[in-house]
């Protein structure tokens, strides 16, 4: 088996119902893996291709990862796990993250659930000598003045990768991280649907354009990195 053949492997992508996570899920499926995804809606039929969702060939489970008890309660639809990808994320606009409710919601989904999901599947990953990938953001490395919780949560994700990478290495679990820059997804529509904001965002990227989920979805299928920013050189 070469390193891009996942035949016989089981992959779970939390947040794999749309956007970046969905692109990653489909990349693993294309390489032979049995791929499971978690999302917030009742069924796979509730997702639309116009939102960047392609659930074809994926095994879908509804889980609200903002609820730590829900993560504990869910019974996985698989007995073994080789790759766990944590790509869940949320943002609250209009300065909502400065309020406690907005702050707590973002921190729960973007950071607390990373720990909860990683710990839930730790034993399976140790048994398979598997891999954990956490998808953060280049927002971990610069300020986002309107979104303090998003910024803090993504910086926390970077720290979590470093810590789990050292803590779990003796057990044979590889822990890696990816930090995308601006990617055109439903979560960034507040920018992509506003011509002025979109122009400003693209002006900060040397290649002059935002990323697309399908353009770099193959990156998690190989493991030459601990942290890989995919920002197009964004300043």
Q: For the residues of the chain, what is the DSSP string, one character each?
A: --TT--TT-EEEEETTTSHHHHHHHHHHHHTT-EEEEEESSSSGGG--GGGT---TT-EEEE--TT-HHHHHH---S-S--SEEEE------TTTGGGSHHHHHHHHIIIIIHHHHHHHHTHHHHHHHT-EEEEE--GGGGS--TT-HHHHHHHHHHHHHHHHHHHHHGGGT-EEEEEEE-SB-SGGGHHHHTSHHHHHHHHHTSTTSS-B-GGGSTTGGGS---SEEEESTT--
Is residue 2 in some structural domain? no
Of 83, 104, 86, 92, nearest to 38 by C-alpha is 86
Task: Report the candidate in 118, 133, 128 with the shortest Cα–Cα distance to residue 222.
Answer: 133
Q: Which of 64-78, 101-115, 141-155 has the lowest mean pLDDT?
A: 141-155
Domain count, the chain: 1
Residue whose C-alpha is closest to residue 56's, from 39, 37, 40: 37
CA distance 84 to 59: 14
Q: Which residues contact 213 (CB under 8 A, 6 or more apart)?
A: 19, 20, 22, 23, 52, 183, 184, 185
* Domain extent for 40: 10-230
Query: What integer pLDDT is reported at residue 49 of this predicted model?
Result: 84
- Residue 131 inside a domain? The answer is yes
For residue 53, give both structure tokens: 């969702």
User: 94: domain CATH number?
Assistant: 3.40.50.720
Q: Is 70 exceeded by the pLDDT of residue 136?
A: yes
In a domain, 65, yes or no: yes
In a domain, 58, yes or no: yes
Does residue 223 contact residue 178 with C-beta atoms inside 8 Å? Answer: no
Asked whether residue 196 is assigned to any structural domain, the reply reads yes
Residue keyed to tokens 């995308």? 180
CA triple 224-228-230, angle to 5 deg? 130
pTM for this prediction: 0.82
127 is a domain residue? yes
In a domain, 4, yes or no: no
User: Do the domain assignments include residue 5?
Assistant: no
pLDDT at 22 over 90: yes
Q: Which of 35-44, 107-116, 131-140, 195-204 bottoms out in mean pLDDT, i.e. has the lowest?
A: 195-204
Query: How far is Cα 28 from Cα 221, in angstroms, rounded to an integer?
Result: 7
177 strand-pairing partners: 134, 227
Confidence band of 45 (pLDDT split at 50, 70, 90): very high
What is the rounded average pLDDT of the residues 118-140? 95
Predicted pLDDT of residue 143: 87
- pLDDT number for residue 138: 86
Q: For residue 205, what pLDDT is reported? A: 56
Q: pLDDT-derived band of residue 156, with 50, 70 and 90 as boundaries?
A: very high
């Amino acid at each position: 088996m070469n390193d891009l053949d996942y035949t016989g492997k089981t992959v779970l992508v939390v947040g794999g119902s749309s956007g970046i996570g969905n692109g990653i899920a489909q990349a693993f499926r294309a390489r032979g893996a049995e791929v499971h995804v978690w999302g917030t809606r009742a069924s796979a039929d509730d997702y639309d291709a116009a939102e960047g969702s392609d659930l074809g060939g994926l095994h879908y489970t509804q889980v609200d990862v903002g609820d730590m008890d829900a993560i504990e309660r869910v019974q996985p639809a698989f007995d073994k796990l080789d790759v766990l990808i944590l790509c869940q994320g949320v943002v609250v606009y209009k300065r909502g993250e400065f309020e406690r409710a907005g702050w707590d919601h973002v921190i729960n989904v973007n950071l607390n659930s990373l720990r909860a999901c990683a710990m839930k599947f730790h034993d399976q990953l140790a048994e398979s000598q598997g891999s954990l990938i956490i998808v953060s953001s280049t927002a971990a490395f610069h300020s986002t003045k309107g979104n303090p919780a998003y910024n803090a949560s993504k910086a926390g994700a970077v720290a979590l990768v470093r810590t789990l990478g050292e803590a779990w290495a003796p057990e044979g679990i590889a822990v890696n991280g990816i930090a995308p820059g601006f990617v055109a997804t439903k979560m960034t529509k507040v920018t992509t649907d506003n011509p002025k904001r979109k122009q400003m965002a693209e002006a900060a990227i040397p290649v002059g354009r935002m990323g697309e989920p399908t353009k770099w979805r193959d990156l998690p299928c190989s493991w030459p990195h601990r942290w890989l920013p995919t920002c197009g050189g964004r300043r």
